[in-house]
């Protein structure tokens, strides 16, 4: 049964600044380089004339770095395919969607985000749903993945805050 996780964070930066970062290829390259993955690739970034953005990334964690709970069910390195899309800013708000998958594994992630705020303070709310289709242990793996998503979310927030401060 899929599990959902609600996460939120605040930025010392405006909604416009956060959204501009999300639309910037240099931001994504730097964010991936800082991700802690053994290999991280910006597969594509496409910005629309309306200010929307679609980003596809692949991050790889080598098998020897994976926790035992993961290596029990997945052989080899773990490749995480992620697609993230953001609407243009409309009335100081942007909506995002995130999907994630692990090729060859019965795991999926979907999520919806909303970027809002006032003045120089942006707020990002994110709801992620994780599903692991493995009988008996799927729920345990979903909770593990949910915890990892929470850690990743915080790390990405810290990175974005630093990026905005350094690129004003």
For residue 21, the cross-strand partners are none
* Distance from C-alpha of 168 to C-alpha of 97, rounded to nearest angstrom: 26
Q: What is the pLDDT along the chain (168 residues), one digit of tens a residue?
A: 899 999 999 998 999 999 999 999 999 999 999 998 999 999 999 999 999 999 999 999 898 888 787 778 778 888 999 999 999 999 999 999 999 999 988 999 999 999 999 888 999 999 999 999 988 888 888 888 888 899 999 999 999 999 999 997
Question: Could you tell me the strand order of the sheet in which 78-86 lies?
Answer: 3-12, 121-132, 107-118, 94-101, 78-86, 53-61, 39-47
Domain spans, the chain: 3-166
Helix H segments across 113-137? none
What CATH topology corresponds to 3-166? Alpha-D-Glucose-1,6-Bisphosphate; Chain A, domain 4 (3.30.530)
Residue 100 pLDDT: 96
pTM of the predicted protein model: 0.92
**What was the pLDDT predicted at 73?**
76
């Amino acid at each position: 049964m899929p599990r959902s996780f609600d996460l939120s964070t605040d930025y010392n930066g405006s909604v416009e600044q956060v959204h501009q970062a999300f639309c910037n290829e240099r931001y994504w390259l730097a964010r991936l380089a800082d991700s802690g993955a053994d290999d991280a690739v910006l597969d594509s970034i496409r910005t629309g004339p309306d200010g929307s953005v679609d980003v596809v990334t692949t991050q790889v964690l080598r098998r020897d770095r994976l926790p035992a709970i993961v290596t029990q069910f997945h052989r080899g390195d773990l490749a995480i395919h992620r697609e993230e899309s953001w609407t243009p800013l409309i009335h100081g708000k942007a909506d995002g969607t995130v999907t994630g998958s692990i090729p060859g594994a019965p795991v999926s992630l979907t999520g919806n985000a909303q970027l809002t705020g006032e003045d120089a303070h942006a707020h990002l709310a994110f709801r992620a749903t994780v599903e692991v289709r493995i009988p008996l242990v799927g729920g345990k793996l979903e909770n593990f993945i949910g915890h990892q998503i929470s850690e990743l979310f915080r790390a990405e927030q810290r990175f974005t805050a630093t990026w905005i401060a350094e690129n004003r």
